[in-house]
Amino acid sequence: MVSHMTVALIAFAALSVVLIGVLLISMHIRHKYEPNLIGALIGALMCFLLLETIPALI
Helices (H) and strands (E) in the chain, counts: 3, 0
pLDDT of amino acid 38: 75
Range of the domain at 10: 4-57
Regarding pTM above 0.85, the answer is no
pLDDT of amino acid 57: 66
- Rg of the chain over Cα atoms, rounded to whole angstroms, equals 14
pLDDT (tens digit, 9 = 90+) per residue, 8-28? 778 887 887 888 788 778 877
Overall domain count for the chain: 1
The mean pLDDT value for 24-49 works out to 78
pLDDT of amino acid 13: 77
Instruction: Say how far residue 15 (Cα) sits from the centre of its chain.
Output: 7
**46 pLDDT exceeds 70?**
yes
